[in-house]
Amino acid sequence: MNAKQSILLGVIVGLFLALAFAFGFISNDLLETASASANEPAAVTNYGLLAETQNLIDQVYLREQPSPDVREYAAIRGILSTLEDPNTYFIEPPVAQSEADVLAGTYGGIGVQVQLSEDGRLLLFPFADSPAITAGIEDGDELIAINGADITFSLGPDAIDQMLRGEVKKGSGVEITVQHANSDMPETFFIEFAVINVPSVTWRVLTENEEIGYVQILRFTNRTPDELEDALTGLLDSDISALILDLRNNTGGLLPESVAVANQFIDGGTITYEMRKNSERALDAEPGGLATDIPLVILVNHSTASAAELVAGALLDYERGILIGQKTYGKGTVQQIFLLSDGSSVHITAAEWLTPNKNRIDGVGITPTIEMIPDENGRDVELGEGIRYLSEDLAESVN
């Protein structure tokens, strides 16, 4: 295989890995070697036809053959493809990275989250201990300009977020102009780039109604339960009376951590049923969650998948809150990861999970209580609807 072919193969497999993790649902105690994979013996087959075919190729094939490992990898992919399961796949050694590394989430930038408000303003929310917060950026600051150029919502939050990132080296950074909520004049900052460890949970008290807290879970990592506990503690210390849980664009992650997240909102009972080849297991909530009684709205969309769907499905079945947004992705399986002897790995679908009411999610998704069409300009209409719903609920509870 020449250098160009190797690079192309690496890119293709790398993209496949990224897509696989994009809608992944992984049990972090299932990363193991193939030799220790099962108590039951595997079905024995010598794949005689493969050996016959290879023998014929060796005898008569005109041109040079690919290396043995390339042919073996192709055979593995062929066997897995017969299962017709897109979540069961093979990864070559150069890109067989651990889930911990994939979920770590680091980049060079100033460490802010960009959100487009319902009224079309671009708002900044700095991460804790980030260069942005050190420079003086505050939650809800309106972004006016980047490097002297005016910014409008038509660019979209994702494109603007990329403009606030860059290579970490001496003197590198970005100049931004913001409008503080409590100030009449815009203020300009030059903020140097640093390595940003992306949190899996962000939170704040909503300025639209300070009785309502907002928690966004971006992904389910091994840090998520602790980060969520810190967020809920901070919000409850701020005397909020209701909560919005944002699971939009959360494409999954670790199974035990998603169960731990649901624990914070459900006071006992089964969170999910895990269905394996020869067994069924109920994963139950532990009493003592911080937010088991507070009025709750959950935001979802088409990219809410896997672990995020587990949490949304449990909260919906227990009638802990309503779902607002669009139908979820529909990924309800768990992949078990086996490391092979050469450093490659095989991800094999080993379980399917069901909601507490034993509703199936895989290939189906979850239909929200209030379905909404996304705003074509990117305004956050789902968050706005959630604020209105909870504000009316709080007003009724007072009367």
Distance CA 158, CA 344 (A): 33
Domain count, the chain: 2
Distance CA 19, CA 85 (A): 14
Query: 305 and 232, same structural domain?
Result: yes
In this predicted structure, what is the pLDDT of residue 399?
67
Q: Mean pLDDT lowest for which of 220-224, 274-278, 355-359?
A: 220-224
Residue 59 has pLDDT above 60, yes or no: yes
Of 197, 230, 257, which residue is a domain's last? Answer: 197
Residue 215 has pLDDT above 90, yes or no: yes
In a domain, 231, yes or no: yes
Confidence of residue 44 (pLDDT cuts 50, 70, 90): low
Residue 178 near residue 137, CB atoms below 8 Å: yes
Distance CA 236, CA 76 (A): 52
In this predicted structure, what is the pLDDT of residue 251?
84
Query: 96 and 52, same structural domain?
Result: yes
Of 197, 224, 258, which residue is a domain's last? Answer: 197
Q: What's the CATH number where 27 sits?
A: 3.90.226.10
For 79-127, write each residue's pLDDT tens digit.
999 999 888 888 877 544 434 344 456 778 999 988 877 787 888 989 8
Q: What's the CATH number where 145 sits?
A: 2.30.42.10
In this predicted structure, what is the pLDDT of residue 322?
98
Instruction: Label residues 145-175 b or e (16+ Cβ within 10 Å = b).
Output: ebeeeebebebebeebeebbbbeeeeeebbe
In this predicted structure, what is the pLDDT of residue 26?
52
Confidence of residue 152 (pLDDT cuts 50, 70, 90): confident
Query: 121 and 192, same structural domain?
Result: yes
Which helix (H) or strand (E) segment holds residue 177: the answer is strand 173-179
Q: What average pLDDT does the segment 309-323 reach? A: 97
Query: 116 and 84, same structural domain?
Result: no
Question: What domain range is 354 assigned to?
Answer: 21-103+199-399
In this predicted structure, what is the pLDDT of residue 338?
87
Residue 36 has pLDDT above 70, yes or no: no
For 349, other C-beta atoms within 10 Å of its C-beta total 17
Of 144, 162, 197, which residue is a domain's last? Answer: 197
Residue 136 has pLDDT above 80, yes or no: yes
The residue type found at 169 is: K
Residue 340 near residue 314, CB atoms below 8 Å: no
In this predicted structure, what is the pLDDT of residue 158?
67
In a domain, 272, yes or no: yes
Query: 232 and 117, same structural domain?
Result: no
Query: 89 and 111, same structural domain?
Result: no
For 171-208, write each residue's pLDDT tens digit.
899 999 999 988 889 999 999 999 888 789 999 999 99
Q: What average pLDDT does the segment 231-246 reach? A: 97
Query: 227 and 166, same structural domain?
Result: no
Query: 356 and 222, same structural domain?
Result: yes
Beta bridge partner(s), residue 137 = none
Query: 70 and 131, same structural domain?
Result: no
The CB-based long-range contact list for 36-42 (8 Å cut-off, 24+ gap) reads 37/338
pTM over 0.95: no
Query: 173 and 145, same structural domain?
Result: yes
In a domain, 5, yes or no: no
Query: 263 and 393, same structural domain?
Result: yes
pLDDT > 90: percent of the chain: 57
Query: 235 and 160, same structural domain?
Result: no
Residue 388 has pLDDT above 90, yes or no: yes
In a domain, 10, yes or no: no
In a domain, 6, yes or no: no
**Cα-Cα end-to-end distance for the chain:** 74
In this predicted structure, what is the pLDDT of residue 137?
95
Residue 361 near residue 379, CB atoms below 8 Å: no
